[in-house]
Amino acid sequence: MMFAPATMPWFALHEWRLMWRDGVAMMTGGYPARRIGLIAFIVVVAIALHLMANAIMGPWIANGIVPDKPTLVLITGSGFLFWTVMLSQALESVTRAYYARSDLDLILSSPASSRTLFAVRTGITALTTLLLACLLASPVVDVLVIRDGVHWLMAYAVLAALSALATAIAVLITVTLFRIAGTKRTRLIAQIIAAIIGAGFVIGIQAVAILHFGNMSSRFALFGDPQFVASMPDLTSLVWAPAKAALGDWPSLLGILALGIGALTGTIAFASSGYGRHAIAAAGIGQQRVSQRTTTVNFRPRSQKQQLRIKEWKLLARDPWLLSQTLMQMLYLVPPALYLWISYGQSAGTYVVVIPVLVMAAGQLSGGLSWLAISGEDAHDLVVTAPVDPAAVLQAKIEAVATVVAIVFTPIIVLMLLASIDLAAKTAVFAAISSGSATAIQLWFRVPMRRAMFRRRQVASRASTISEALSSIFWAGTAVLAAGDQYLIAILPGTLAVVTLLVAWGLSPRGRPVAV
Amino acid sequence: MSDPVYALDIEGLSKSFDRPVVKDLTLRVKAGEFYALLGPNGAGKTTILRMVAGLLQPEAGSISVLGIDTRKDPIAAKSIVAWVSDEPMVYDRLTPYEYLEFVAGLWKIDAARAQAHATELIDWLGLAPHAHQRCGGFSKGMLQKVALAGALVHDPRLIILDEPLTGLDAGSARQVKQVLLDKVRQGVTVIMTTHILEVAERMAERIGVINHGRLVAEGTLAELRARVGRETTLEEIFLDLVAQKEMDIDAGVDAAA
């Protein structure tokens, strides 16, 4: 299909082709033969998710779904959780449209309209946001369609409207940030806002659940609480329009579609004129020079390892964007920390619920930091050609990572220590094992890359990403069972964690000629 | 009479990726010499130098730097070698001073001596006004100067440079060339690849021409002229030698060699 050059459909086709090829390369790791395996994997995962959704939704559907207030509260609350993830994703994508260079320099230096490009890229952001939402929601919606009626298909139209609305709001936030905070800070602030929006609502609901019920019960439990339901607006409120639309109410669906599409087109029309200007300003950020406050440098006598560790810490501390990407996972530590705070002095047994969160977070944080220290080495040639034993280089980098992880987790462990030495010790041990496992995986799969490639580190190896996540989950499971003194059962997740590490080691490209 | 100690002594070096890149190469560079390694794109120059710097492992052969076998004692060999690539690899978030402090630490140079030397190099390379700015916004030329300062701060005996003048403006290129010539005068050995034949012609004492992973010719400019049998520029000599090699390959001479 041919379109006139530089028109909207022509740009859309170009963007779609790039996105498709990028997506396929990301999923197959550059090996087209893996497509069949990938499709089989996706089918198996989809079936498993649908079965899980069926098991969870079954009792609710069996009782009969009526559009009463508790149902609307549950659908709206759950839907809002999805929408915050959509908004977070849209905000990241919109920011990338301004800051990612790749072909932007070429297009902006061409006679093609930057407004057209912006409209296409914003539209694609809405589309990818919708795809993500569909991916997350489809098991639930499909089960509802099959077991309760085809009217639930309207939920997909609601998702489309909400993704358009999320994208429109993301554009408005970004443009506002450009005006208020300036080009230099917009990316970082948008990144933080995206993370807070993405995790904030989940954490907020969890926090309310903790304060309300006094335990780490499901955040969904709050939506079923009669007191909470009673405090919500009555049935005539517009707040329930998306939920009513999902339940098959046509006027509500048309209203929300009009709102979403109208907001998106209006925002594109409003923001597109400034796109070229902002994108060009964003391109100039790399050219700006940052002066250090201290203008006198006294070279300090340090060992080779000290130099390497200090270099890692300096680079991390001076890159707030990268630091925020890594430390954002720490937001998920807020609920367990809050729970520890409010249950201080209570039975030590209640602390068991926070252990898996801490152990998983330790693994995830270590994985990200280890990638930065081990693979994300900007002066790889320098470090390799230095007269330092490669093992000493790796040791110093691992020490640098371990120190940061220890700084983050020690206060929480100390808080636990005040109530239970046993649980604190077990948490510390399994957090260290989880952290060590993630670091080991990064070590086995190390591939020198620029630190700026942090976001795309998963592309380097799906095996390392999956094994890192699995080992954290299995160690968390082992930790919680060991904390509950169920040592025999704990052997199972512990064995799975070890098997995961062995498989990762087996899949890793060992025997590299040059170490980092 | 015993053999002289060469700054670089390569014997039977081979390396393949998806195809052979370096084939049974023997190359010797005398201490205190300015040696230029020339060759068309993909000839294997960078691969050779990366093996010398310890960035790649050879499949066969030996490399010795000032009498130190790089395989048997890599740390000792690395401590007297500096590597500068065409793509300056410095940390965006460190200032030139901090970068030099880091490099000096890696090479275990005494802090006070390193600081004095770093200050001298920063002045010498015209980096003083930017010494306390992070390297992130620097131009290619400035980054190359920072990388060069890093290579010199630990007083190497052998400096290996891969296309160090690529992308530099005339002033920066002149400064880099001057620094290298000064180092040679002080007895340091410099091995450099370049596509700017005029630079090799004017600066190098000896020139080696690599094609298809083999050393096809070597000598002073006068010796290379004698080899092609006419008084001409290095550019003409280079093109003649490379064209001759292509003809040899077409005629199957290379395969038989």
- Each residue of A51-94: pLDDT tens digit? 888 888 888 888 888 878 888 888 888 888 788 888 988 998 88
Average pLDDT for residues A317-326, to the nearest whole number?
74
What residues in B contact A314, CB-CB < 8 Å?
Answer: 93-94, 98
Q: What is the DSSP string of B6-55?
A: EEEEEEEEEEESSSEEEEEEEEEEETT-EEEEE--TTSSHHHHHHHHHTS
State the Cα–Cα distance between residues A270 and A123, nearest whole angstrom.
14
pLDDT at A342 (0 to 100): 60
Residue A391 touches partner B, C-beta closer than 8 Å: no
Tokens coding A234: 């009555």
pLDDT at A360 (0 to 100): 87
Which ipTM did the prediction report? Answer: 0.79
Residue B75 touches partner A, C-beta closer than 8 Å: yes
Q: Is A478 exposed, middle or buried (0-12, 13-18, 19+ CB in 10 A)?
A: buried
Tell me the residues of chain A between 172 and 191 that have a Cβ less than 8 Å away from chain B.
none
> Could you report the per-residue pLDDT of A272-282, keeping only the tens digit for each?
888 878 887 77
CB A139 within 8 A of CB A50: yes
State the Cα–Cα distance between residues B49 and B69, nearest whole angstrom.
15
Interface probe for B, chosen from A295, A323, A378, A381 (most Cβ of B below 10 Å), is A381
pLDDT at B241 (0 to 100): 79
Strand order in the sheet with B68-69: B20-30, B6-16, B60-65, B68-69
pLDDT at A282 (0 to 100): 78
pLDDT at B86 (0 to 100): 85
State the Cα–Cα distance between residues B35 and B210, nearest whole angstrom.
13
Mean pLDDT taken over chain B? 87
When pLDDT is cut at 50, 70 and 90, the band that residue A514 belongs to is very low
Total number of residues shown for chain B = 257
User: CB within 8 A of B208, min separation 6: which ones?
Assistant: B27, B35, B36, B37, B38, B215, B217, B218
SS3 B215: strand
CB A127 within 8 A of CB A23: no
Residue B187 touches partner A, C-beta closer than 8 Å: no
Average pLDDT for residues A253-259, to the nearest whole number?
95
Place of tokens 């310890």: B54
Residue B26 touches partner A, C-beta closer than 8 Å: no
Residue B143 touches partner A, C-beta closer than 8 Å: no
Nearest CA to A241 out of A254, A223, A229 is that of A254
- DSSP count for chain B of H helices, then E strands: 10, 10
User: CB within 8 A of A9, min separation 6: which ones?
Assistant: A3
Nearest CA to A85 out of A135, A144, A145, A139 is that of A135
Considering only CB atoms, A381 lies closest to which of B75, B89, B98, namely B89
Sign, Cα dihedral of B51, B57, B59, B62: positive
Nearest CA to CA, how far is A183 from chain B (Å)? 16
pLDDT at A516 (0 to 100): 37
Place of tokens 């080779």: A304
State the Cα–Cα distance between residues B9 and B204, nearest whole angstrom.
18
Considering only CB atoms, B78 lies closest to which of A306, A308, A386, namely A386
When pLDDT is cut at 50, 70 and 90, the band that residue A494 belongs to is very high
Nearest CA to CA, how far is A297 from chain B (Å)? 7
Q: Nearest 5°: phi and psi at B190?
A: -125, 125
- Whether residue B133 and residue A291 make contact (CB cut-off 8 A), yes or no, is yes
Query: What secondary structure letter does DSSP report for A328?
Result: G
Place of tokens 């609901």: A205
The alpha carbon torsion through B177, B180, B185, B189 (nearest 10 deg) reads -140
Tokens coding B237: 């000599």
Relative orientation angle of helices A250-283 and A183-213, to the nearest 10 degrees: 140
Nearest CA to A108 out of A237, A281, A358 is that of A281
Query: What secondary structure letter does DSSP report for A306?
Result: H
Q: What is the DSSP string of B128-153?
A: GGGTTB-GGG--HHHHHHHHHHHHHT
Apex B197 CA angle, B195 and B200, nearest 5: 105
- Whether residue B91 and residue A298 make contact (CB cut-off 8 A), yes or no, is no
CB A99 within 8 A of CB A177: no
> Could you report the per-residue pLDDT of A266-308, keeping only the tens digit for each?
999 998 888 878 887 777 666 566 666 666 678 888 899 999 9
State the Cα–Cα distance between residues A459 and A24, nearest whole angstrom.
11
The alpha carbon torsion through A329, A334, A336, A341 (nearest 10 deg) reads 150
- The CA radius of gyration of chain A, in Å to the nearest whole number, is 25
Chain B residue nearest residue A388, CA to CA: B75
- For the cut 90, the answer to whether the pLDDT of residue B188 exceeds it is yes
pLDDT at B255 (0 to 100): 43
What residues in B contact A299, CB-CB < 8 Å?
Answer: 101, 104, 111-112, 114-115, 118
- For the cut 70, the answer to whether the pLDDT of residue A350 exceeds it is no
When pLDDT is cut at 50, 70 and 90, the band that residue A96 belongs to is confident
> What whole-number percentage of chain A has pLDDT above 70?
82
**Across A33-47, A180-194, A373-387, A419-433, least confident range:** A33-47
Residue B144 touches partner A, C-beta closer than 8 Å: no
Considering only CB atoms, B114 lies closest to which of A287, A299, A319, namely A299
pLDDT at B165 (0 to 100): 86
pLDDT at A515 (0 to 100): 39
pLDDT at A188 (0 to 100): 82
- Whether residue A379 and residue B90 make contact (CB cut-off 8 A), yes or no, is yes
State the Cα–Cα distance between residues A176 and A138, nearest whole angstrom.
33
Tokens coding B250: 């077409």
When pLDDT is cut at 50, 70 and 90, the band that residue A213 belongs to is low
- For the cut 60, the answer to whether the pLDDT of residue B8 exceeds it is yes
When pLDDT is cut at 50, 70 and 90, the band that residue A221 belongs to is low
When pLDDT is cut at 50, 70 and 90, the band that residue B161 belongs to is very high
> Could you report the per-residue pLDDT of A373-431, keeping only the tens digit for each?
888 888 888 999 999 999 999 999 999 999 999 998 999 889 888 878 888 999 999 99
Apex A454 CA angle, A448 and A458, nearest 5: 85
Residue B106 touches partner A, C-beta closer than 8 Å: yes
Residue A381 touches partner B, C-beta closer than 8 Å: yes
What residues in A contact B118, CB-CB < 8 Å?
Answer: 299
**Across A9-18, A161-170, A241-250, least confident range:** A9-18
When pLDDT is cut at 50, 70 and 90, the band that residue A38 belongs to is confident
**Across A168-182, A223-237, A464-478, least confident range:** A223-237
Chain A residue nearest residue B83, CA to CA: A385
- For the cut 80, the answer to whether the pLDDT of residue B30 exceeds it is yes
Q: A2 versus B96: which is more confidently predicted?
A: B96
CB B142 within 8 A of CB A287: no
Interface probe for A, chosen from B56, B100, B106, B120 (most Cβ of A below 10 Å), is B106
SS3 B192: strand
pLDDT at B70 (0 to 100): 92
- For the cut 50, the answer to whether the pLDDT of residue A201 exceeds it is yes
Residue B153 touches partner A, C-beta closer than 8 Å: no
Q: 3-state SS of A10-27?
A: HHHHHHHHHHHHHHHHHH
Tokens coding A226: 């009669």
Residue A102 touches partner B, C-beta closer than 8 Å: no
- Whether residue A306 and residue B56 make contact (CB cut-off 8 A), yes or no, is no
Model-level pTM greater than 0.80?
no
pLDDT at B166 (0 to 100): 81
- The CA radius of gyration of chain B, in Å to the nearest whole number, is 19
State the Cα–Cα distance between residues A124 and A11, nearest whole angstrom.
11
CB A162 within 8 A of CB A242: yes
Residue A385 touches partner B, C-beta closer than 8 Å: yes
Considering only CB atoms, B101 lies closest to which of A297, A303, A319, namely A297
Average pLDDT for residues A39-44, to the nearest whole number?
84
CB B38 within 8 A of CB B197: yes
Nearest CA to A376 out of B158, B155, B73, B89 is that of B89
CB A206 within 8 A of CB A114: no
Place of tokens 């007269």: A387
Chain B residue nearest residue A380, CA to CA: B89
Average pLDDT for residues A202-219, to the nearest whole number?
61
pLDDT at B1 (0 to 100): 44
When pLDDT is cut at 50, 70 and 90, the band that residue A340 belongs to is low
Residue B118 touches partner A, C-beta closer than 8 Å: yes
CB A339 within 8 A of CB B119: no
When pLDDT is cut at 50, 70 and 90, the band that residue A506 belongs to is confident
State the Cα–Cα distance between residues A127 and A260, nearest whole angstrom.
13
Residue A226 touches partner B, C-beta closer than 8 Å: no
Considering only CB atoms, A302 lies closest to which of B76, B82, B105, namely B105
> What number of C-beta contacts closer than 8 Å exist between A and B?
117
Residue A511 touches partner B, C-beta closer than 8 Å: no
pLDDT at A74 (0 to 100): 84
The alpha carbon torsion through A273, A275, A277, A283 (nearest 10 deg) reads -170
What residues in A contact B94, CB-CB < 8 Å?
Answer: 311, 314-315
Tokens coding A24: 């396929």
> Could you report the per-residue pLDDT of B163-181, keeping only the tens digit for each?
888 877 888 888 888 989 9
